[in-house]
Structure 1
C-alpha cells in the first residue's frame, strides 16, 4: 500500500479557468455534465468513486436491490466525451479562500471557481451513544451494514431459545418519520408479510415489531397535512407501530430509551432522524448557518464571488423558502444545471441570472399501491396513482441506462413474486464493542 506522501493530485496545468467541484452527488454531477471542457478545466473531488441514487438506498438495505443498481461510476459518467474533466477519489481537508486553493490528503490545488456540493451527513444531535450503536442510512456501506444486520438478526432469531433475546432481534426501531423512515418501514412490512415467512417457516413473524418514531406530531413533516395523515393510516394498515411526539434519549445497543422513560429492547436501531451539512474547514463562520452555507440568489457563498455552494449544503433563503430549499434531489439538480450556465456567463463577463427553484412536488411510497404525492397547484394524490408516479419518477432520474433496466426488471419481478432477490449476507456485520446479544454472532463467525 502506497503512503499518502507518495501520491499527488497529478492535475495538468491549464490556461482555462479551473472549476473545482467538491462532491459528485446530484448537484456536482449535473454541474459537471453541463459545463463544457472547451471553456473550463473541470476537477471533481469525492471520497467515493461513484454517483449514488440515494432515494433508493433503503431498497439496498432491505435486500430489494444490489448496490450497483443505484450507483454509477463517476469515471463512466464522464468518459472521453468530456474534454478536460479530471476526477480524483480523495478526501478534501480544507479550503483557503485567500490563496484560492483546496487542500486534500495528497496535496493542494489552486482554483478559479470553487463549487461545494458535499451534501449532508447524519446528525445525531450530539448524542455519541446513539452515533456509536445505531445504524445510519446515508451511503451504500451503511445500507450494506444494515442489510447484514437485519438478515443476521433473522437467522439468529430462528435458532435462539431465549424468548426475550429473540424478541429483541425481531424488534426494529426506525427513528425519523421523513421519507427515508417511512419508505424503509413500508419495505420491512412487506418483507415481514410476504418474504420472511417463506424463508423461515418455523418462525412466527406476527411477533416482529416495526416501530416508526417521530419527534413531531405527524409523519412526513415536509409534506402536506393531507399526505401525512394518509401516510400514517397506510403505515398502520400494514402493521407499523407509529409513535409520534416521541424523542429518543439513549440507546446502548440493547435498549432504546425514550424521553419519558419508555423502553424497547432491540438490537437494531435505524437512525433516519436528521442530517446536517457536510461542511469543510476554511470558510468563515458567518458564511454558514445551522450547518449549511449561506448563498445568494446566484449560489455564491456570502462574502465570496468565486466560491459557490449547491444542493443540500446550500441555504438560499427566499420569501417562499425562508429556511432554504428542501433537502431533496431536485434543488441540487436544478442548481447544478443553472450554475453551469452562470459560470459560462461569468467568463463571458455577462450578468448572472438568479436561480429560481421549480418545485415539481414530493413523493413517498409505503408499499405496493400505497404512496402519496404533493404536486404543484396544491394537488394531492394517494394510492395506486401516486404509487405509479413514484415508480416512473425514480426510474426516470436514475443515472445510466443499465441501472434503469436492472431496477425496472427487479420491480417487475417483485410485483409478481413478492421476492426480494438479494437476501445474501455477503459481508457479515460485527460490532467492534462487546455488547450483550452479539456474542452469538461472534461464535458463529468463529466457525469460519
Structure 2
C-alpha cells in the first residue's frame, strides 16, 4: 500500500498476517525516513536524508543485534504479534462478559479510522491493460522439461485440467541432449504450444528467461514438474492480474506430507504461503509457480536470467521500484518436497549460496562484510520467522501438528483455543 498524507508526507506500508512476519510502515519526508516494524519491541528507526555508506550499514547491523531478545521471545511463545493479537481478543471477550469498555476503546478505533481517511492515493491512474487480439492466449505457462517427457507429464496433466485451458499458451523449454517426443494427445486442449530447445546445461533460470521472451501472453507463470496446480489456479492468477500487481503468487500445500524431511523442506521453502492463507499484498512470493506481467520482466533485459536465479531477490527489487506483489489463495498448488536428509541438506546449502550471491550483487564491500559477520544469526532469524508462519497451524491442528508430530515421534495434545477465537 502506498499513498500521500494530507500534509504531503509520502507513506508506504506492507501488512501480511499470513504471507510472512512483515508488518512495516515507512514515512518519507525531506529530512529523512521513519520506519516502523509493527508488533516489535524495537519498533522504529530514523534514517536522516543522505545517510548511507558504511556508517548506515553499521547502524543497521546494530539494530539487528538489538532485536535478538525479540527473536528469542518469538521462538519461545510466538512473538509479540501472537501475544498482542490473542490478548486483545481475550480482553474484548472479557469486556463483553462483564459489561465494560475493552482496553482498546471504540474512541481509539474511531481515531485510527479517521487517521486512515487522511491518506489519499499517490496516483489515481488506472492500471494499463494490454489490448489483445481476440484469438490471443491470456496467460503463458512456462515449464522446463529436463530431458524426459515423463518428468513433466503429471504437471502438464494438471495444466490441461485448468478451467481456462483453452486460453493458456504452454511454453515447454526442452533442456535436453536430444529431441523430446510428446505422446499424442498429451498437450491437447491448450490455446497453443511452443517447444523451445535449450542447451543441456541450461539452468532453470535461463530456461524461464528464454521462455518469457518467447511467450505471447501478457502474463507469464513459471511452473515446475513437481508442483501440481488445482483447476482454478490459472484463472485465479489471471483474475488478480486485472489489478496493478507486478506479480501474483499462489497458496502452496504439501503434496507429500508423509515424512518429517518433507515438512522441514515445506516450512523452510513455503512457510509464508502455507495452506490455508488469506489474500493480500505481501513482501515476497513463492520462488516458483508465481506469475508476472511479462512486460515488467522484459524491462530487465539481459539481467533477467540473473534476477530469476533467486526470485526472492527479484521480488525485493520490484518492491524497491514501488511495484506490488499479491498473494492469491484461490490459486492453489501442491508442491512435492525433498524427502531425504542427504539430498535436502546439500540443496539448502547451495540454494543459500545462490540466494546470497544474487542478493549481494551491487553491494559495497562494507555491507558484504557486515552481512558475512552476521551470517551465524541466520538460523535464529529463519526459525523465528517459521514460528510466526506456523502460528496459524494452531488453529488447524489436525492438518499440521498431527502429521508433523507423528513423524517426529510425538503425539500432540489438542491445543486449548478460546471459544471467542
TM-score (norm 2): 0.25
The structure with the largest helix share of the pair is 2
TM-score by length of 1: 0.24
